[in-house]
Chain A
């Protein structure tokens, strides 16, 4: 793909998150939301390497992955509004939504817990010979969870078609990575599992796509898992309402210079800039239409609250 489609997809994610934040402020989103503003190049680059049938597992900061995987925007807004969405009927909301129709195993609001589950999707691919791969995204902080360690070693010994994408935004909630780990790069830990690990510029969709494609190829041909560490930055708080007092002065302003959309904008000549403007306008319309459609989705019928506990 590359430009301008990557730009469109990243702009869609950004606009979605910005609109979501406004809806949150307006009281239309009941629960907590974790936005991925600034990190859009990671899901967009990674999903470029995927095909239908490949499973994706993400975290609560996973709206970008859902959108990059083609999950319906109206469904996403409606789900987060607590409405009876076609995704999860309002039972999951922002941090735990999923969509089997788009092979989106889903978000997870338990740090690291998606990695064992993604390992299971990889097991199915391997045992059924489907040729599919399983990609899972986590944050830098999640690398310190036992569930990630267990799953990586398990996937390694079983040679499963798993790709772990670590979105290193240098914060676990409000804590700096320097205070959390004693390695310079998290990808160094790959060696401990006997796996290849790479560090890439997570604000460059091409760099992410190239590294993930290499890992995906390796997985598809039966050579097992890989770790891709994508260096990136959050432009917003950990969650809605995070005042970010813990971030040093100037850090966010500097990040705004490095973030993927601004980067493309800066490098654009007049012709491309005009196209990007047009894309922005189209994306804004598309997002607004999704919000309008989501507002028309009814709230779940309280009489159904006990449905679906069991098959």
Chain B
């Protein structure tokens, strides 16, 4: 069975599933209970599940992420919501020093089965402190799983996978994708963690993207098809566990690689993909790997400035053209 849902509704459906099917889950964050979440992700959940299962916290990201860890270590399966990914920075100690390390540092004796749900990326007029795409920080941290769903169906499937995972998972959604609509397989079995996906097959060049840049890559591919360039698009989906095999297999077919993300260039996860490709796909590559990313500037708020900073389909298309002509 598949339902047509908006991305944000798919998130809501996954959370409903989690609270309904697993009695060890609890959900908390700012304005998530009675208000239903600043973007409506938790609409109706408090009414259905009550304050025992879903409740509001003070504006204390460090406090409640640490609470999520302690609760996870002692038997609950918390899902904690960070309203904007930018706010995770005030709680980096709990994420990096605590949540990510306890399983390893206890030789596996403690587990931290928790989910940190957040939404990221720019939106028109949003300032530098509400526009970060921090996925590389999390992917850099051993011990964390990192999910970036690009479609309503993945918003549903990957969040459910995150909930059942015994590892801590950062699920970073894209606020700009919330209104997008698509089919969601609400009766599908819960998927295993990980796995990239070829979302458009093509022969000439591979574009690896995640989150909002997947649709930008698909749009670019449609434009380029008219110019006779056949683009294969890989939705990376999970930065950890990383499915590089799918990327390498695609590059083996196309011989060219472009990596696209919204986060700024330097130290972005695209650098990791490019480095792996250099190490593992050298013989297959017929052109240098290209990276599409925001330039290294804090995100400006004015749409006129965002227009030249935020990578879009046209930015991807330009990079692909340069790569196929190289």
Interface residues of A (CB under 8 A from B): 55, 57, 87-92, 96, 98-101, 105-106, 108, 110, 113, 115-125, 127-128, 134, 146-147, 150-151, 153-154, 157-158, 307-311
Contacts and interface: CB of A to CB of B under 8 A. Distances in A.
Contacts, number: 151
A100 B106 contact: yes
A300 B259 CA distance: 40
Contacts of B72: 120
A202 to B, nearest CB: 25
B76 A88 contact: no
A308 B104 CA distance: 5
Contact of A119 (B55, B70, B105, B111): B70
B69 A116 contact: yes
B108 A120 contact: no
Interface stretch (B57-65, B195-203, B213-221): B57-65
B104 A154 contact: no
B70 A134 contact: yes
Given A88-B106, A117-B66, A310 B143 contact: yes
Given A105-B73, A154-B58, A309-B143, A116 B109 contact: no
B63 A127 contact: no
Interface in B65-115: 65-76, 78, 93-94, 97-98, 102-111, 113
Interface residues of B, number: 44
Contact of A153 (B58, B142, B145): B58
Given A105-B74, A120-B67, A308-B108, 14 more contacts: A55-B74, A87-B106, A88-B109, A91-B107, A98-B106, A106-B110, A120-B70, A120-B71, A120-B74, A127-B71, A147-B63, A151-B62, A153-B58, A310-B145
B167 interface: yes
A96 B97 CA distance: 11
A192 to B, nearest CB: 13
17 contacts: A57-B70, A91-B104, A91-B105, A98-B102, A98-B109, A105-B73, A113-B94, A116-B62, A116-B66, A118-B70, A119-B63, A120-B76, A123-B67, A124-B75, A128-B75, A150-B60, A311-B103
Task: Give the interface centre of A90, A113, A150 by most chain B CB atoms within 10 Å.
Answer: A150
A100 B52 CA distance: 25
A57 B60 CA distance: 20
Nearest to A99: B109
B103 A92 contact: no
Interface in B108-152: 108-111, 113, 142-143, 145
B67 A154 contact: yes
A120 B93 contact: no
